[in-house]
Amino acid sequence: MKYSKLSLAKEAIAHKGFIKKIPDIFRMVNMWRKGTYPVKSIDLILPLVGLLYVISPIDIIPDFIIVAGVLDDLAVLSLAIPKLIREVDKFLIWEAEQKYSTNSAKVIDAEVV
């Protein structure tokens, strides 16, 4: 039986927002830490550091400076969250490939846009 990456991607990514992907993020980081999920370290570390920066009380521009303090956090979030979502989507596709990769199944390579 053949599976296309496009159908695997649709199944893996279907109807999940960022909040619903949080367990997937933890699973992705855990599998990366164990060495099961092959990904560049920088692709995971940078978005996670960005989220930690927003959560932490230490900022480059303190939050008590009303406009600038909030804007720097929003700028970091606007860079970190899309990157993290792209990495989680790649992980979900990889995970679906692993699930369907058996001797009788073949995954057809396709580009997801």
Cβ-Cβ contacts under 8 Å for 64 (sequence gap 6 or more): none
16-54 pLDDT tens trace = 677 788 888 899 999 999 988 888 888 888 888 888 888
Q: pTM of the predicted model, to two decimals?
A: 0.67
- DSSP lists the bridge partners of residue 4 as 108
DSSP-assigned letter for residue 18: T
Residues 6 or more apart whose Cβ sits within 8 Å of residue 47: 80, 81, 83, 84, 87
End-to-end CA distance of the chain: 24
Quick: pLDDT tens for 73-104: 888 888 888 888 888 888 988 888 887 776 55
